[in-house]
Amino acid sequence: MPARKRVRRSLVLPALIVLTLLHPASAARAQDACKKELASAEEAYTRGRFDEAIGHLSECLEKRRVSEDERERAYRLMGLSYIGKDVLGEARSSVRKLLELVPNYQPDPALDPPPFVRLIEDVRDEIAASKQAPPPPAQEPAARQNPPQRRGPGTWLLVGGGALLAGAAAVLLAGSGGGGDDGPPEGPTTLNEVEPNDAPNQAQALRGRPPITLRGQADVNDVSEVGRTFNDGTFDDFEDWFTVTITATGLQLSLNGFASDLDLYLMEPGTLNFLGISENGGTLTEAINNPGLAPGTYLIGVSIFDPDPQGPASTSYTLTVNGAVTGASLNASIQQIGNFGGASHAADFRLVAHPVAKDAPLGAVLPDPAVDAWTAFDETGGALVEYDGTPALRFRPGRGFWVQHARPLMPSDAQAEPTTGDTYDIPLHPGWNIISNPFEGAVAWADVQAANGITQGLWRWEGRFLQTDAFAPAHSGEAFYFVNATRRASLTVPYPGTTRARTAAPADPAALLTLSIYREGALAASVQVGLADDAAPGLDGYDQLAPPGYFEAAGLRLVRHAAAEEPPLHLAREVRPGGQGQRFDLVLEAPEHASVTLRAEGVETLAGRQVYLVDTEQALVYDLHAHPFVTLTARRTRTPLILLVGSEAFVAAEREALRPDVASLSNYPNPFNPATTLAYTVPPSTAPSAVRLDVFDAAGRLVRVLVDAVQAPGAYQAVWDGADASGTPVASGVYVAHLRAGAH
């Protein structure tokens, strides 16, 4: 095959950032078949109970009398629920069904979350590309050709000390889907080639339920800039190419069902190193089996090589990908950092490494900032320093940076040289460091811990921080966070595969509770608390310090107060001795007035112990055994919380000590639809107090009496369903809640 164009080493790795909004139910649908299920699903969804929401939606769609509007709402909410669960394959399937139901559906970028908008666009392109000769769009009824504008909020509420919550109302976004389907398929995923056959200029990300079977069409006349260069200088480009991410070791590929001579390639995306080649001439099957392939993102190429001049100009084929396949990779890469806007979202920045053998200024590796704008930050141990053109900020073996770029970054002309030797020492400063692996292969982090006698973990960034066991090489483009808690001068990294005696780390305690927070439906951060008889009162091998949350959508940290002259420590995991009980201090970091959902997992491991979350500022107490999902409203950017774990007597004594001495009133969510929870406290007194909680409209007319009782001091909750005393839903607007508790 004649040489075409030089290889362009770039990948498109879409990053999906998940957002959730709320869309109010329409009064016009009150008599429709699945009104009850939709209302229940919406309430479950707002509280982060995604499985419960999906269950209600499935019941709705199974009914015989389901209107088209109800299907649209149900499928959209189902799609958002799957996004909240981070099950992107089912979310994509739901969006496809939505477009089958409403082909001309147009999302509203001002109200719909960006990932939902992008998913709509992606699936619409897939549907169009899968049709060889797409028919003209069918004429829709007038109401479908011009989708109605989103309705406003169902109910706004003004509560507490007279402060009006301003801003846009929360808008309910029903799940996507289509037809009368019961939900996503349980079996393997079958896909069609997405990319137009005449422009194979970027890799398609394969995602779905493995094994993935992809039906494609390769054209001899396709011309791409990615492929294989032979020793004689000829160049074989890829008619089609794909990225796939695996989360466990091993990958199997098979290519069959083609009429021309197709070849199959498996490569590393950052360098285009070939990890597998199948080019058996004259056969109708090509296969690559790499059982030892490490988890990560890889490139798959399909190429027509030396086709018979009398043969067909194109051929269909079937590509089967089998392994622990996940969605599109969010890993950083010097070849592809991402296609982002301003640096206002968690996914706008990447931890970036570069496989340089010698120091290279950022300006020499990254594009000319005067021509192609980008932003970079250096970590100094607990603060960021922005790149201002100084040559002092340099890529070097073992070093990385935060980088944000408006377009995909291409590699520099500098050639990387593999670092050799048995070990490499990365210089460190006290506190947090951005580090990279200077070797050509991944290093087990346990080997690094053993070589240095440390217990702290390695953190990667995927729109949130996650601990990882594998220290990926710098040629992947990914850098990592590590805390130098022992003030070492350097970190020794052993050569990949070096056998070393490892110090046995403490096993995970049996009683381990995970607290995760979601903001706008996306998982933002997690912490773990545990109890173990052999845990030390202070820091030990169980405990893990938490990286700084510079670009998190919301943060959650455990707080350990150190000596008086030192700042408190922020931890991602803290394990203490059991005893009668323990009080854990936490801090929620989120924009002021932002609403987040907290999810408690593993509460059952603490059987026999009470587990309560206390919001001292709002005097709210949550029993996590009974309510593992909690909606929290950030009253300020750093909101303190307390977790109580222990015996009934221990928890009762701690709650008594935390009891508020003044009355308080708040509500969540706000704005709301269809219901809101009003949390209030009755302050201490010598006897139970007469308590009354009323709701008034903006004109001062009494709408509903929510509480009229005698109550002892403590924290309470009441739910208003947005209806008046007769049960009739009130109109949208601003309402005032008024609390009287004894003399308060």
| Partners of residue 556 on adjacent β-strands | 588
Neighbours of 576 (CB within 10 A): 22
CB-CB contact of 478 with 351 (8 Å) = yes
Q: Rounded distance, CA 717 to CA 158, Å?
A: 16
Give the number of residues written for the chain: 744
Alpha-carbon dihedral sign for residues 523, 18, 733, 166: positive
Strands 465-468 and 458-461 come out as: antiparallel
Those residues whose C-beta lies under 8 Å from the C-beta of residue 580, and which sit 6 or more positions away, are: 646, 647, 649, 650
* Longest CA pairwise span in the chain (Å): 99
Under-50 pLDDT residues of the chain: 1-31, 110, 132-186, 196-199, 327-347, 410-418
In sequence order, the 6+-apart residues with CB closer than 8 A to the CB of 86 are 18, 523
Task: Note the pLDDT of residue 449.
Answer: 93
Contact 572, 535 (CB under 8 A): no
Instruction: Dig out the tokens for 337 from the structure.
Output: 């950092």
- CA–CA separation, 235 and 159 (whole Å): 69
Return the sign of the alpha-carbon dihedral for residues 266, 269, 274, 275. Answer: negative
User: Torsions phi, psi of 472, nearest 5?
Assistant: -70, 150
The arrangement of strands across the sheet holding 689-697 comes to: 702-711, 689-697, 735-741
| Alpha helix stretches (DSSP H) within 159-245 | none
Determine contact, residues 221/313, Cβ cutoff 8 Å.
yes
User: Which phi and psi angles does 562 have, rounded to 5°?
Assistant: -90, -155
Distance CA(711)–CA(322), nearest Å, equals 61
Cα gap 45→78, rounded to integer Å: 9
Which residue type, as a one-letter code, is found at position 605? T
pTM higher than 0.75, yes or no? no
Contact between 481 and 459 (Cβ < 8 Å): yes
Whether 55 and 83 have beta carbons less than 8 Å apart is answered as no
> In whole angstroms, what is the distance from residue 470 CA to residue 468 CA?
6
Q: Give CA–CA dist 243/249, Å, rounded.
A: 16
User: Do the Cβ atoms of 619 and 681 come closer than 8 Å?
Assistant: yes
User: Which pLDDT belongs to residue 86?
Assistant: 63
Q: Which two tokens stand for residue 449?
A: 């811990």
Question: In this structure, are residues 685 and 710 in contact, taking their beta carbons and an 8 Å threshold?
Answer: no
d(CA 542, CA 576): 9
Q: Are strands 212-219 and 189-192 parallel, antiparallel or unpaired?
A: parallel
Dihedral (CA of 121, 123, 125, 128) sign = negative
| Residue closest to 634 by CA, chosen among 587, 674, 675 | 587
Task: Report the run of H or E that residue 143 belongs to, with start and end.
Answer: helix 142-145
Q: How many CA atoms lie within 13 A of 452 on its CB side?
A: 27
Burial classification of residue 225, based on how many CB atoms lie within 10 Å of its CB (0-12 exposed, 13-18 middle, 19 or more buried): middle
Amino acid at 167: G
Instruction: Give the 3-state DSSP-derived string for 531-555, with helices as H, strands as E and coil as C.
Output: ECCCCCCCCCCCCEECCCCCCCCCE
Per-residue burial over 689-727, b = 16 or more CB atoms within 10 Å of its CB, e = otherwise: bebebbbebeeeeebbebbeeeeebebbebebebeeeee
Kindly give, in sequence order, each residue whose CB lies less than 8 Å from that of residue 479, ignoring residues fewer than 6 positions away: 332, 351, 352, 353, 399, 400, 401, 434, 435, 436
CB neighbours of residue 357 within 10 Å = 15
Distance of CA 281 to CAs 214, 284, 312, Å?
Answer: 22, 9, 16
Torsion angle, CA of 609/615/620/621, rounded to 10 degrees?
0
Residue with the two structure tokens 């009133």: 665
Question: Rounded distance, CA 487 to CA 539, Å?
Answer: 16
Cis check: omega of the bond before 211, within 30 degrees of 0: yes
Burial of 561 (0-12, 13-18, 19+ CB in 10 A): exposed
Tell me the C-alpha to C-alpha distance, in Å, between residue 549 and each of 334, 459, 546, 556. Answer: 23, 12, 8, 9
Alpha helices by DSSP H, 171-279 = none
What backbone phi and psi angles, to 5 degrees, belong to 412? -80, 170
d(CA 70, CA 74): 6
Q: CB neighbours (10 Å) of residue 649?
A: 11
Neighbours of 367 (CB within 10 A): 15
* Residue type (1 letter), 461: W
What contacts 167, CB < 8 A, 6 or more positions away?
593
Phi-psi region of 60 (alpha: psi -120 to 50; beta: other; left: phi over 0): alpha
